[in-house]
Structure 1
Amino acid sequence: MTVMHAKNQRLSIKLLRWVILTALFAGGLLSIGQISLDAFRAMDVLKNQAAQILDVVKDPATQAVYSIDPELAKQVVEGLFQQREIRYAGIGHPDETLLAEKSRPLQEAPFRWLTDPIFGKEQQFSVQLIKHEPEPVYYGDLVITIDTVYKSELFIERSVVVFISGILRASILAAILFLVYHYLLTRPLSNIIQSLLRVNPSEPGRQSIPAPRNHENDELGVWVNTANDLLGEISDNQQKRRAAEARVLKLSQYDPLTGLPNRLMFRNHLQNTLDDAKHAGHKVAVLCCGIDDFKSINSQFNYTVGDQLLQAFAERLSNNDGSLQTASRLGGDQFSLIQYNIHNAYNVAELAEKLLKRLNEPFEIEDYSINLYTTIGITIFPDDGSNADDLLQKSEQTMTLAKTVSRNQFQFYVASVDSEMRERKSMEKDLSNALNNNEFHIVFQPQIDYQSKAIIGAEVLLRWVHPTRGFVPPDIFIPIAENNGSIVDIGNWVLDEACRQAAIWQQQGHFIKLAINLSAVQLKDSAIEAYIKSTLEKHHIEPRYLEVEITETGVMENLSNAVETLNKIKQYGVSTAIDDFGTGYSSLSYLKKLPIDKVKIDKQFVHDLLIDEDDTSIVNAVIQLSKSLHLSVIAEGVETKEQEAYLVSRGCDMGQGYFYSRPVAAEEFLSYLLEYTRNPPQIG
């Protein structure tokens, strides 16, 4: 029901409407009755007036008929017409010619249509003319006709007054009755209704309905008290029902022993999570955790200890670092968790390893210190399944399968992914020992100045030769080092080793600038500027002989922090360059903000420079953009004479690539430097 319709249905409006209608009807009816009585009285007055008129002129009219005197008869008739109501008058014998008569038309009036049906248009009256001497002798008649319009006019005026006054009296009475009724009933009822509307349906007993003032002991007061009692009963019943529903819900959705969500609730929550992840384009991991050989716990101790152990295990599973969420108990000794918004399987492997470590810590139950071991099966959405049932089933199967092979480990559903994760974890472990085992070395790739045709610098590149794996490509181990933070120590070693070698060359008279790569992780390290300064001072290298290269994507991770760090490095005298320019998402506005001296064109654009129009356009744009910002430009990955010629023609300042030399060790680089100095090639 709409608000407007509800207002129209209010009792006070209905009451007002009916009181007014009833009063108007009664007032109108009484007025009509009074007007009808007035009509009868008006007709009687008309008849009495006619009788009086006839009585006045009866004798002169009788004398005129008796003496057959037309002049006298005419005078009598003219005398009658002095009365405006007289429309016709005549004197004479019925069987003879009238002695005198006169008439005039009916008076026009706008209300005749209403009064003529009541009084008639005219009323005729007559009197016999009789002379008594000595016996009564009949001589004729005096006839008059009265126009009713004049009496009708008075009647209409009185009727209007009567009707209007009757309606006014009825309206005043209706208003008085309405106010009395409103004060006694409708207003208290309205207040009760407003109090009812304020009652919270979910907690009806919290707020009682106040009894209307002066109605505490009448029917309204009794009704309010009864309603309050009823609301209290409803509130009590609701509380009992909610408590019962909560108990039923907890039994149906939560494990009674651990308090964790059960399989059904976990499955529903997982499906909702997958729906959200599908919409957002995220990955989700499901981890099924099974306690290894839990039956022996019950056999070795007792079921009470076993239950307490499960409760402690569930609590530890729930109190993780926040990266794993929605822990649940699937049943028996099996539990499950969800990891949201993962980037790759490696993230899951790290978390699984941390979880295993936390769960392996001893549990203190009563007087026992108990060690539990756990096996985890992992599935990833959408790679391993598109719905909750598939992912949960496969994670349980993977966990069960992993237990048959070994205990206290994690395993991915896809064997290839699992193998890759184990390989990366093993490599991460080996990487942490590589520095101490002297498995790293650096190589140098010369940088050629196209103007002077001289080797003016070299890029320092890191190489890892594993004792069993052999050569490990940098694009494999660098991301791992950045992910676990070891890149800081490795980067510091590279800087120290490069400065050590530069010092040796300078002692031999070869002053060239060395460019080292600075990762995004190092850029965030607050101590990087101090370490660069201390390392240069340690090896007595001037800052102008060092250049740090930062990647475009590394800078964009935290632009303000990168700008601050680079400013400090540059103020010390170390030059700066942005590496792999064009492969990320930086723009002209970002490039203007960065305190850099050089832009390096990525080798992927140089490789197809002369055959791919898009790469040609990008290279030209980078060179023009750099020149407009007064930055020098170096091209990486130059492999042919034609590429070099094109770059020189476009204004590129420097080049680096296999066309000049592959990255080589320090001794070989020195030989190349000496040979190049003796026999410099043609440039361009």
Structure 2
Amino acid sequence: MPRASKPLLVAALSVAVVVTLGGSGLLSPWWSQLVDDVGQFLAGVAAILACWLTAARHGGAQRWWRLWMGGAALGWTGGQALWSWYQLSGADALPSPSLADAGYLTLPVLALPAVVSLASARPPAGSPRRRPGQLLMVLDGLIVVGALFVLTWATALGSVVAAGAATPLAYTVAIAYPVTDLVLTIIVILLLATAAPANRGQLALLGAGLLSLSLSDSAFAYLVSKGATSMPPAADAGFVAGQALVAVAALTSARSEDAAPARPGTRWAFMLLPYVPVALTGVLFIVQLARGESMDGVEIAVETAVISLLIIRQAITLLENAVLLDRLSLSQARLAHQAFHDALTGLANRVLFHDRLGHALALHQRDGRPLAVLFCDLDDFKAVNDRHGHHAGDRLLRQVADRLRGAVREGDTVARVGGDEFAILLEGGGDPGGPAERVMAEIGRPFDLDGETIAVGVSVGLVEAGAHGAVPSADALLRRADAAMYAGKRRGKGRLVRYRVDLPDGTGTSDLAEALAATLRSEDGSAPGLDVHYQPIVRLHDGTVVAVEALARWTHPSLGPVSADLFIATAEQIGLIRLVDDFVLDRACRDAAAFRGPWASIAVHVNTSAARLGLPEHEETVRAAVLRHGLAPHRLLLELTETAPLPDLGAAAGAVHRLGRFGVRFALDDFGTGYNALAQLHAMPVDEVKLDRSFTLADGGRSEAICRSIVQICTGMGVTVVAEGIETDRQAAAMAALGCRYGQGHRYGVSAPLNLVAPPGALVLEERAATPLASG
């Protein structure tokens, strides 16, 4: 302790001076006694001044222990003044008992609360006091003191005191010194184990001072019991050193930094300390019984007190343990609640909601129990925070939570899963649209925030488990509800949207995309559920079928039939449209090769993305499909869809030329609505143009003029025109009058499986294995 070095040095020099001068033999006995007594008196005065002057600069326990110790030093110094008077003015060299003993014995009485206060003191930034632990330390000290007193009394102290104590008062005083010194010494040792690390240095100095006083007290008691006529200065060194160490402790401040915590083994030793001397007293009692000796009154009284204190200590320990267990249970319950609930609203958090959703989904999959999820997101909540502050936003969220609880049944789970996002788990059956509508109505009512009315909306996504096929996980179900909610946001907010399979989720895809990808990438390449339907293309003047268009159709095992426009767009979005095109191409070539009779020479039209033109692998796929099934190349007509611009018009034109030389013919599909239709017609040697259905309306206006112009341009270039979307005889007559020779539409038949479209005798009836999907 560097800060205590100088005061310690001064104290050591002072003790050395007093002891050396008093015991040197250079002075007469009276002057030697005077030096000894004055040295003790001045040491006491130094302790008083050090304690009380430094107390003014401190607060709390650091102030109180100095005040208590200053009072203790004052009592002791007063006793020393009387003692010195008796010695120097009277004839009694060791005046005992006397009034000086009353002053001396003031010290242990006031020093006890001083050491307890110092041991319980905490630095300014420290933790709160542990009063029950300090009380146990005091009880442990008393137990140890009592047990050690019984041991010392039975072995030596009793006989010494009895021999030197002529009167009851002398007997009491003789016992008081060793007992009080023993109490203070043991309590200081025990309290050192629980004192704050910052205060252990002060407590160690104070304890060393009290121990020094105790050693001189013990010497004094022994000399008195032996009838000594004087006390050598060396025996009084403890009185000077003790008060000097008290002054040093008062002048030393608590350390600002925490010292290393006590080791677990040290703490166990202090915990077991009171039981060791008690066990020794038991051994002593057994030895006395074996020798036929009886316990005197002092032993019985002190041993009874020790046992009583031990019982009290155990009762306090049990009570404290019960309180700690209650607090631990409450803390665990609080932590469990905090782990699974939102701190702001008190609702379930994402963890608890996910757990309950997983359990509900398991019951749904096992027993078919109804299950629905609502995903709610406040509209324009950020504007509330920006305008009114985050505290107002927090109050609004708490009110929203209360309204959500009131809008659903008690057994439903309401959770806050994000900043202004909430999820509701509905497990009770019935139409979930009812609770969803109540949620929107409740949140739609104005909110009152400190007298100001605030209105917010809510977008709600609703999904029912089992309504759109099997749900693989709780996360997938929650993503579906989230996708439905964001679909409502995109449509203008404040909407309730039920989930559909084509809605993209948070990953940028949808359940439809995942299901389609799984179909197209099936292990055996058969693409289960994917099929090809055909629609006839006819001559308008007589209705004769001249070709059929092959169209992809998909029926999912759980989703059912999926709209062609929807799953084709999805395939393009996820980059798997080529697999669909290749499947239809292979199937169409196989079926067309089997045509017989009236259909033996008709063509088959197959859609292919114009963006694939110019890619070598596409040309190889077309050639391979034609050759594999033995189809005459001129009977295959590839329709170029213009859903995306051509990346390289020159490369696409080259591919058309090369496949045209092979015999494959080409058509521009949906002509007039794509990218650079006239430029493609000019650059690529196509055989047909399929006029988009938007131009087949016979309204006599601009559509008719555009249609007439396209027919004239194509006729002049030798390109056949097919009118799409013909549904009535009037449309057919109008297109024929404009010079269009061929048509396609519901007027001549919808797309259907080949066996429903082809006339009798047009097909070779034989078992054919499913066409595998091209790999890659």
TM range (shorter): 0.3 to 0.5
Structure with greater strand percent: 1
Larger RCO: Structure 1 or Structure 2 (Cα < 8 Å, ≥ 6 residues apart)?
2
**TM-score of the aligned structures, taking structure 2 as reference length:** 0.34
TM-score w.r.t. structure 1 length? 0.38
